[in-house]
Amino acid sequence: MPTPDRTSLDDIVRAARDLLESEGLSRLSMQAVADRVGVRAPSLYKRVRNRDDLVRLVAEATVADLTQRLDSVAHATPGDVRLRLPQLARALRTFAHEQPAGYRLVFSPETAATTASAETVALAVEPLLTVVAELAGPDDALNAARTVTAWATGFIAMELAGAFQLGGNLDSAFEFGITRLVAALAARSPLG
């Protein structure tokens, strides 16, 4: 005689995301998630393989949010590449400020088992890579994209970790960085 469902995968992932942002990854336990959705911990294993799998699903859900965000920014500002790149970089940083723990899960995962798939992450940052390629030209596209993503993710990771200790304004530091990078990466013989 079937028991009616008392929760769902969506509920579980949503509860896990809430816990992640409010309590941190180490406090995201199966018991805490089960409490939130109103079942006992063993019941979660009907819907996720194990804790790592659940954390990975949280990462995937976060990546999906980011994909939507960057896509909408990319479409909202079809102007000059030199303006679009900074706007995408700022959108990434804003997203990180809104969901710092989720952002870290995607861009600084602790272990491969909890990492979102390379494909979905690639899809999320695709607008960034496209605009960098446009800026740097085809020969340098890959190296330039790696330089920009390394800088952006490094800056945000340090900011979230509180690693910028010497005072000063971080918004200004971010703008300084993106401005200099745009100048440094622009193709030497621009067409327009």
With contact defined as beta carbons under 8 Å apart, do 156 and 162 qualify?
no
Residue 180 token pair: 């200099």
Q: Out of 3, 4, 26, 188, point to the residue binding a second copy (CB under 8 A).
A: 26
Q: Out of 8, 45, 80, 176, point to the residue binding a second copy (CB under 8 A).
A: 176
A 10 A CB-CB count for 93 gives 21
42 binds, among a second copy, DNA, none (CB under 5 to 8 A by kind): DNA
CB 143 to a second copy: min, Å:
4
Distance CA 82, CA 169 (A): 23
Nearer to a second copy, 79 or 168 (CB): 168
Q: Which of 176, 61, 57, 155 is nearest to 108 (CA)?
A: 155
With contact defined as beta carbons under 8 Å apart, do 10 and 61 qualify?
no
9 is a site residue for DNA (CB under 7 A): no
Radius of gyration of the chain (CA): 20
142 is a site residue for a second copy (CB under 8 A): yes
111 is a site residue for DNA (CB under 7 A): no
Three-class DSSP category at 144: helix
Site for DNA in 36-95 (CB under 7 A): 39-43, 45-47, 50-52
Q: Which chain residues interact with a second copy by CB under 8 A?
A: 24-26, 107-112, 115, 118, 121-122, 140, 142-144, 146-147, 149-155, 157-158, 161-166, 168, 172-173, 176-177, 180-181, 183-185
